[in-house]
């Protein structure tokens, strides 16, 4: 392979690795209140029941 092809591969790998690291660094966890958690759990139960009824 030529030097240009090797440089292009190295740059591409660097861009991909940089993007993955940026996503990992910028990821945030959700800080939900107890009320929000109970609403989410209740909604999930409703959805599961609807899916069971459809089957």
pLDDT digits (tens, 9 = 90+) for 1-55: 899 999 999 999 999 999 999 999 888 777 889 999 999 999 999 999 999 888 7
Contact assessment for residue 32 and residue 40, using Cβ atoms and an 8 Å cutoff: yes
Could you tell me which of 18, 14, 19, 16 has the C-alpha nearest to residue 6? 14
State residue 5's pLDDT score: 96
Question: Alpha-carbon torsion 41, 39, 33, 21, what sign?
Answer: positive
Predicted confidence at residue 48, as pLDDT, reads: 95
16 phi, psi to nearest 5 deg: -65, -45
Secondary structure E strands in 6-50: none
Q: Going along the chain, which residue ranges are E strands?
A: none
Q: What's the predicted TM-score (pTM) here? A: 0.49
């Amino acid at each position: 392979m030529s030097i240009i092809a090797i440089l292009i591969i190295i740059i591409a790998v660097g861009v991909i690795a940089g993007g993955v690291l940026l996503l990992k660094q910028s990821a945030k966890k959700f800080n939900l209140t107890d009320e929000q958690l109970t609403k989410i759990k209740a909604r999930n139960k409703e959805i599961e029941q609807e899916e069971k009824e459809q089957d």
